């Protein structure tokens, strides 16, 4: 079956530090890959996505590149801010029975300190 493995947190960084959150996946087909972000007490928001190999998704200074050869989709940001403190989820999609189902990693909690 499909699975997503994320680096375990929590991750604590100082403001303006470089961020990398590792994500690797296992899938039988050619899934789309996503990063979602969850701020405290809220639902999940789509941060970025990539639909095929070598695609780069980007949004709000975050980037991730779909690497088929290493089955990875690592999230990066060059300079984090306190407002980036949240839980980040890597996910992949798998079409089945007319719906696209998402398989999520366990999430990585990021805390950015001033």
Partner 1 sequence: SQTIHQWPATLVQPVGSPLSLECTVEGTSNPNLYWYRQAAGRGLQLLFYSVGIGQISSEVPQNLSASRPQDRQFILSSKKLLLSDSGFYLCAWNLRGYDEQFFGPGTRLTVL
Minimum distance, C-beta of residue 27 to partner 1, in the bound complex (Å): 12
Query: Does 10 interact with partner 1 (rule: CB under 8 A)?
Result: no
For the purposes of burial, counting CB atoms within 10 Å of the CB of 2, is it exposed (0-12), middle (13-18) or buried (19 or more)? middle
Q: Which of 27, 59, 102, 111 binds partner 1 (CB under 8 A)?
A: 102
Question: Which residue's CB is nearer to partner 1, number 51 or number 83?
Answer: 51
How are the residues of the chain apportioned to helix, strand and coil, as percentages rounded to the nearest 5? 5, 55, 40
Minimum distance, C-beta of residue 7 to partner 1, in the bound complex (Å): 13
Question: Which residue's CB is nearer to partner 1, number 17 or number 72?
Answer: 72
Query: Does 57 interact with partner 1 (rule: CB under 8 A)?
Result: no
* Cis before 10? omega within 30: yes
d(CA 108, CA 67): 20
d(CA 5, CA 14): 25
Query: Does 7 interact with partner 1 (rule: CB under 8 A)?
Result: no
Residues at the contact surface with partner 1, assessed by CB under 8 A: 32, 34, 36, 41-46, 49, 51, 89, 93, 95, 97-102, 104-107
């Amino acid at each position: 079956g499909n699975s997503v493995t994320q680096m375990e947190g929590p991750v604590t960084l100082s403001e303006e530090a470089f961020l990398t959150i590792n994500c690797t996946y296992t899938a039988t087909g050619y899934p789309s890959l996503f990063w979602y972000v969850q701020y405290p007490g809220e639902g999940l928001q789509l941060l970025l996505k990539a639909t095929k190999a070598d695609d780069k998704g980007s949004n709000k200074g975050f980037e991730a590149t779909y690497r088929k050869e290493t089955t990875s989709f690592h999230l990066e940001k060059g300079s984090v801010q306190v407002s980036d403190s949240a839980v980040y989820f890597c996910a992949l999609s798998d079409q089945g029975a007319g719906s696209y189902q998402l398989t999520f990693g366990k999430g990585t909690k990021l805390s950015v300190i001033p």
